[in-house]
Amino acid sequence: MADDEKNEGARGRARRTSVREEAENSIAPQRRRAAARSAGPAERYAERRSAPSASASSEKVDSGKPESDPWTVPASVRDRFRQDGNRFYFADGAPAFRDHGRRLTTASENTALIGSLIEIAQARGWEEIRIAGTETFRKEAWSQARRAGLAVRGYRPSKDERADLARSRDRSEEAREEREAPARAAAVASGVAESARDELIVGKLVDHGREAYKFDPHREMSYFVRVKTAEGQRTIWGKDLARALTDSLTRPQVGDEVGLRAVGADPVTVKRRERDGEGRLVKESDLSTHRNRWVIEKREFFESRREAAQVLRDTSIAPHVGVRSHPELAGTYLNLHAAKIAARRIRDPEDQQKFVSMVRGALADAIARGEPLTPVRLRERRAERAQSERDPPARA
């Protein structure tokens, strides 16, 4: 009888432990089905037994290979907690979370703690995570993980929560733009090209359309393009994006891998409207700024353009050979030929060569950026041919 009661007590404790573990809040990488089937009890036991000490964990962080180390913990997280094996505690000694290698568990719904778990997931290369636990925990974990660019399973957000996330991202992006605005303005004023203008944003086209700027109903209408990049989802704003999509040569559609690049800027004067906390207009003034000109094409377009630019830069490749491999260069070679003719008016042969080389480089840079190419017109061909016959042979 005593043995039966003892066994029943053990089974009760086991059930309570099981219920408590199921109720734990957790974050884990989303496994593929094949990988889940291949991991048996022996492998899972070995994984649990291989949990390193705090010092071993520190060595792994410095290895530079978080993807291959399931025990990576960023230094920023270790500094916030006290570690004892695979258990982490708050500074006051209260339990924070447990690290199971392929799973992080906690009984807490602390926002800062959840942020730390997301940092660990990122450091370990978990691009898609599975979350479980209370609704409060899952909601906060979903929000922070999505802002960090991770895909999430285990929580179905409402339409309002998705909208809040989009607005939060846009506010973060707007704050970053405001921080960088003085440096950009100084660069423009000094005649230095903005580095951001040379950036090629590459990712999957998720959405685009005409909306109030930053989705703020109190701001003027603009156009947005949303892409999923390797660093996470980005929303790019610009009125010229609508034209760029309409004029696109490759006609990208939602789901396509695309590239976006600002290839120039036009000075404009816009109305700057200031509103109070309730959205009422309190002040309006003119603001001198610039409006970016955009190019948006499928990803392979920019790869082809890079190759074409290299062909143009190679002075050993004859124009007819270059046009044979890249027919789109026909108009550009005519421009280059016109530059050679113009260079004949320069007395110094060395300066002639410098001038032609400068024009060649500028044309190649524009091609590589994806800017529109010069079309070939029959009238221009005839004019170039006639000019070439009238002028003496080029020395550059």
Q: What percent of the chain has pLDDT over 70?
A: 67
* 50 touches 44 (CB < 8 A): no
Round to whole Å and give the CA distance between 49 and 100. Answer: 10
Q: What rounded mean pLDDT belongs to the chain?
A: 77
State the pLDDT at residue 3.
57
Number of H helices, E strands in the chain: 14, 12
State the pLDDT at residue 291.
79
* pLDDT at residue 387 greater than cutoff 70: no
pLDDT, greater one: 52 or 129? 129
194-232 burial string, b = 16+ CB within 10 Å, else e?
beebeeebebebeebeebebbbeeeeeebbbbbbbeeee
Q: Which secondary structure element, helix H or strand E, spans residue 241, and what is its range?
A: helix 240-246
* 247 touches 266 (CB < 8 A): no
- pTM confidence score: 0.44
Q: Report helix, strand or coil for 153.
A: strand
pLDDT, greater one: 210 or 273? 210
pLDDT in tens, 225-249: 999 988 889 999 988 999 999 999 9
* pLDDT at residue 352 greater than cutoff 50: yes
For the ranges 48-57, 70-79, 247-256, the maximum mean pLDDT occurs at 247-256
Q: What is the mean pLDDT of residues 116-137?
A: 93
Whose CA is closest to 174, among 214, 228, 233?
A: 214
What is the distance of C-alpha 164 from the center of its chain? 20
Round to whole Å and give the CA distance between 329 and 319. Answer: 9
3-class secondary structure per residue, 191-220: CCCCHHHHCCEEEEEEEEEEEEHHHCCCCC
Q: What percent of the chain has pLDDT over 90?
A: 36
* 263 touches 302 (CB < 8 A): no
State the pLDDT at residue 180.
53
Q: Which token pair is 64?
A: 């530079």
Task: Quickly state the pLDDT bin for 20 (edges 50, 70, 90).
Answer: very low
State the pLDDT at residue 54.
38
* pLDDT at residue 286 greater than cutoff 60: yes
Round to whole Å and give the CA distance between 217 and 225. Answer: 18
The half-sphere exposure of 40 on its side-chain side, counting CA atoms within 13 A, is 1
Whose CA is closest to 153, among 129, 121, 185, 122?
A: 129
Q: 174 burial class (0-12, 13-18, 19+ CB within 10 angstroms)?
A: middle
* pLDDT at residue 192 greater than cutoff 50: no
Q: Tokens 């940092």 label which residue?
A: 119
pLDDT, greater one: 177 or 135? 135
